[in-house]
Amino acid sequence: MKYAIIYWSRYGNGKKIVDYLAEKLKEKGEVMVFTTSDVDPAAMPEADLYVFSAPTEAFNIQKNMRNFMKKLEGMEGKKYGIINTHAMERNWLHKMEKLLSKKKMVKVAGVDFKVGKDASAGNGLMDGWERKLDEFAGKL
């Protein structure tokens, strides 16, 4: 299995999640990790499954990831998983899913992580995040 993880992280919580996930997925196959500025959404690397990870900012998916998803090309029928970090009671996985469904991609799994008071220092993930991410990785 070949995985491509594309993420955007401001404070490092998302990067911590992606790094952990990449290690888990290496047990199942090849893993490539990119930020939204590392890869062209119109020429995505070939993979069996794509994972998109982004925080919520200003009551929406972070702008760089939102624009990235809107510019994706040639992704019809490709499988994906989504990850959202947020400090609110409500996650924005539905917004990510809506953007990717317009590209005719197929959702495999989604997971959200509420961040706490040290979010801006990259230490905002709540207890049990690793277990939650292990479950998500098992679905991919």
In whole angstroms, give the CA distance from residue 1 to residue 71. Answer: 25
CATH of the domain at 27: 3.40.50.360
pLDDT at 118: 59
pTM of the model: 0.93
The answer to whether 8 and 62 have CB atoms below 8 angstroms apart is yes
pLDDT at 88: 78
Q: Which domain holds residue 70?
A: 2-139
**Low-confidence residues of the chain: pLDDT under 70:** 117-123
pLDDT at 124: 72
pLDDT digits (tens, 9 = 90+) for 69-86: 999 999 999 999 999 998
In whole angstroms, give the CA distance from residue 2 to residue 93. Answer: 23
Number of structural domains found in the chain? 1
pLDDT at 120: 54
The β-bridge relationship of strands 2-7 and 30-35 is parallel
pLDDT at 93: 94
